[in-house]
């Protein structure tokens, strides 16, 4: 047989349960309990309102550059809610909703995006710091999973990245290693259609991002990333598979970045606004609201009350953030390593000496020596 077809054990499934109009496929609905659904809704609302508030704060010069998450809340919350506290979350830089779910405080997110590294110190144990260098977190996630296996710790690692990250070497190294070692990792790709100004079609010729898992010998599934129920079902299956020793999964959440890449970006220069309008109709918050109203778990009065609650929560956090003591430049050496490497310690000492020389100089009375 000089030429034969190799039949692979996998295909790529696409999963959708709750459509853009809020209609639910009853046969696939995971029927989550009311308390979980309402907690998810409240966190989604909080994340959306915080995003809006942060955009205003940045425009007023009260925080620095940040990447809004608008439109991607279902992809994040439907996946992260499946983890236990004893599992690991390894984020990229656009996961504010998932971080809120993990217990990161709003004021710590504000501190971080104001350039204050101590904002990372508040992250919960087993939630790694925000990683801006694209895809560098993926080998870390796999290493943590390998370490967990080595220590007989039943933890699962869930890691996040974008469509653009799938073109980085680290993505392929991480997936290959996770596949070979059958590690308990869930790779959550938020395919928001854009990597700054690079559209999804220019990122890869592959029809789906999910299928990239197949080359590494493990399952990949594509889900409607604006459908919180579909994301939940896929993540639940993937976490169960990882926990039972059956290895990694790649979940491609098809979603859309409704806002700017970061506050330093102007998408009007590279994307058509009609595309944005089309995706606004698929907003995950709108359809989740319709679903919960259909299940009689939400009504306009309850929604208004929740809006008030999250507004107050954000207001208090902004006040706490703005009342924080001024930054110490030496903080930049902290909060990244559990044990600071010697090169960083040397740099820290050098800066400390320079700062103390400056403060001695400025402490001298006007007209004194050394002018
Ligand atoms: C290694 C590296 N190269 C380039 C950048 C600049 N950069 C920041 S975000 C980004 C695009 C990332 O796209 P994607 O992975 O789709 O994530 P998204 O921003 O859409 O959430 C780039 C190129 C970076 N942060 N790190
Ligand atoms: Mg992207």
Q: Tens digits of per-residue pLDDT, 36-69?
A: 999 999 999 999 999 999 999 999 999 999 999 9
Higher pLDDT, 367 or 236: 236
In 10 A of CB 48, how many CB atoms? 21
pLDDT exceeds 50 at position 370: no
In angstroms, the Cα distances linking 331 to 81, 117, 149 are 32, 7, 34
pLDDT exceeds 60 at position 29: yes
Q: Which pLDDT value is given to residue 272?
A: 96
- CB–CB of 249/218 below 8 Å? yes
Structure tokens at 358: 């400056």
pLDDT band at 124 (very low <50, low <70, confident <90, very high): confident
pLDDT exceeds 70 at position 367: no
For the chain, counts of helices (H) and of strands (E): 13, 8
Sign of CA dihedral 83, 87, 90, 91: positive
Give the position, in ligand 1's atom list, of the atom nearest the Cα of 94: 21
Q: Is the CB of 188 under 6 A from ligand 1?
A: no
Catalytic residue, from 241, 261, 282, 287: name it: 261
Higher pLDDT, 309 or 121: 309
What is the average pLDDT across 19-33?
A: 96
Q: 171 C-alpha to center of ligand 1: Å? A: 13
Q: 134 C-alpha to center of ligand 2: Å? A: 10
Q: Is the CB of 70 under 6 A from ligand 1?
A: no
Q: Which pLDDT value is given to residue 364?
A: 58
Domain chopping of the chain, boundaries: 13-328, 337-363
Question: What is residue 127's DSSP assignment?
Answer: B
Largest CA distance in the chain: 95
pLDDT exceeds 60 at position 368: no
Structure tokens at 320: 């706490």
Residues, the chain: 371
Mean pLDDT of the chain: 95
> pLDDT digits over 175-209, tens only?
999 999 999 999 999 999 999 999 999 999 999 99
Catalytic residue, from 257, 282, 287, 291: name it: 257
Can 257 be counted among the known catalytic residues? yes
Q: For the domain 13-328, what is the CATH superfamily, name and number?
A: Thiamin diphosphate (ThDP)-binding fold, Pyr/PP domains (3.40.50.970)
Give the span between the Cα atoms of 202 and 163, in whole angstroms: 11
Give the span between the Cα atoms of 84 and 102, in whole angstroms: 10
pLDDT exceeds 70 at position 89: yes
pLDDT exceeds 90 at position 166: yes
Q: Which pLDDT value is given to residue 363?
A: 67
């Amino acid at each position: 047989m000089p030429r034969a077809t190799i039949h692979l054990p996998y295909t790529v499934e696409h999963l959708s349960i709750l459509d853009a109009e809020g209609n639910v496929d009853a046969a696939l609905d995971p029927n989550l309990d009311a308390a979980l659904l309402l907690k998810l809704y409240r966190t989604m609302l909080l994340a959306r309102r915080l995003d809006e508030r942060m955009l205003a704060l940045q425009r007023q010069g009260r925080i620095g550059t940040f990447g809004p998450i608008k439109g991607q809340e279902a992809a994040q919350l439907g996946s992260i809610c499946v983890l236990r506290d004893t599992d690991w979350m390894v984020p990229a830089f656009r996961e504010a909703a998932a971080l809120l779910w993990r217990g990161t405080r709003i004021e710590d997110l504000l501190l971080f995006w104001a350039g204050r590294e101590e904002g990372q110190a508040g992250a919960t144990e087993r939630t790694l710091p925000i990683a801006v260098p694209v895809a560098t977190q993926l080998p870390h996630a796999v290493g943590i999973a390998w370490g967990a296996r080595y220590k007989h710790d039943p933890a699962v690692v869930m890691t996040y990245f974008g469509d653009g990250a799938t073109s980085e070497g680290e993505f392929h190294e991480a997936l290959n290693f996770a596949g070979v070692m059958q590690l308990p990792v869930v790779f959550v790709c938020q395919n928001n259609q854009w990597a700054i100004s690079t559209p999804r079609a220019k990122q890869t010729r592959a029809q789906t991002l999910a299928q990239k898992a197949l080359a590494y010998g493990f399952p990949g599934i594509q889900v409607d990333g604006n459908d919180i129920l579909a994301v939940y079902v896929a993540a639940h299956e993937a976490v169960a598979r990882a926990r039972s020793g059956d290895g990694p999964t790649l979940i491609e959440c098809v979603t859309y970045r409704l806002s700017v890449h970061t506050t330093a970006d102007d998408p009007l220069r590279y994307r058509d606004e009609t595309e944005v309008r089309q995706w606004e109709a698929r907003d995950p918050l709108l359809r989740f609201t319709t679903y919960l109203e259909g299940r009689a778990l939400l009504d306009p009065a309850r929604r208004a009350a929740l809006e008030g609650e999250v507004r107050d929560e954000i207001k208090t956090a902004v006040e706490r953030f703005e009342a924080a003591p001024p930054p110490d430049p030496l903080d930049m050496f902290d909060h990244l390593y559990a044990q600071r490497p010697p090169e960083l310690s040397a740099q820290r000492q050098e800066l400390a000496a320079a700062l103390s020389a400056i403060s001695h100089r400025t402490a001298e009375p006007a007209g004194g020596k050394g002018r």
